[in-house]
Amino acid sequence: MSKYKPMLVHFDKAGYDEQVKFAEFKKTVSDEAWLWIGENLPENHKIIHADEFKGTFIKGNFVSLFKKEFLRAYRDKIKLDISVDKLLELMEVEIYRLEDLEREYNLVTTDIEWGAEGKHYNIDKRPYEVWTKSSEENQLLKDGRNLIEAVEKLGKHTKVYPQQIMLATSNLIGYDLRKQEYKVMLHHKRV
């Protein structure tokens, strides 16, 4: 009896690429927010707890973080006991853009981390993979791939109708019209 070893049936590249696109968007939004914060704090302002600041920033708390740093930067210069919102209003800082960036950033669920090289993301490929679950499925996958290979060879000499292949195999072999290719459909219900 052969030992079972899972085989990759399918990788959802479109879904994975979409997640990468979302992560890139989130990274771009965080870069914009970082620039906005830098432009709206005094040039000589030094963030004391940089690691804590970065950790809070990556969590998407841009507005509260900015307000805290803004108040720290200006509280000694302005000797009034006023709220940070009033101080922002008095200094004509329009925080609406940062609020929009925070909202856009938090809509995307992909996590971004801040390492030594800067901001990066790591998208796990496992949710986009479909694997066989038994040695029987392994054999079915191998046989299906062999059939696909034979049909493609035959297609070089004559017209092969994908719909007929799907019907003849009870949908074990499927056809992706977008990619113009056959694929083994292990986990679809066959009649």
CB 191 within 8 A of CB 170: yes
Structure tokens that stand for 32 in this block = 């914009």
pTM for the full predicted model? 0.71
Q: What is the mean pLDDT of residues 85-96?
A: 86
* Residues 102, 61 contacting (CB under 8 angstroms): yes
Phi/psi at 149 (5° precision): -60, -40
DSSP, residue by residue, 86-110: HHHHHTT--THHHHHHHHHHHH---
Q: Write down the pLDDT at residue 188.
A: 67
Q: Which residue has the tokens 């856009």?
A: 104
β-strand 112-115 against 8-11: which pairing, if any? unpaired
What is the domain partition of the chain in residue ranges?
A: 11-121, 132-184
Lowest-pLDDT choice from 16-20, 50-54, 79-83, 125-129: 50-54
d(CA 50, CA 44): 15
pLDDT band at 162 (very low <50, low <70, confident <90, very high): very high
pLDDT tens by residue, 130-156: 999 999 999 999 999 999 999 999 999
Of the listed ranges 13-17, 40-44, 63-67, 111-115, the least confidently predicted one is 111-115
Residue 120, strand partner residues: 113
Lowest mean pLDDT among 12-26, 52-66, 139-153, 175-189: 52-66
For CA atoms 34, 70, 97, 40, give the dihedral sign: negative
Task: Identify the CA nearest to 144 among candidates 167, 174, 164, 189.
Answer: 174
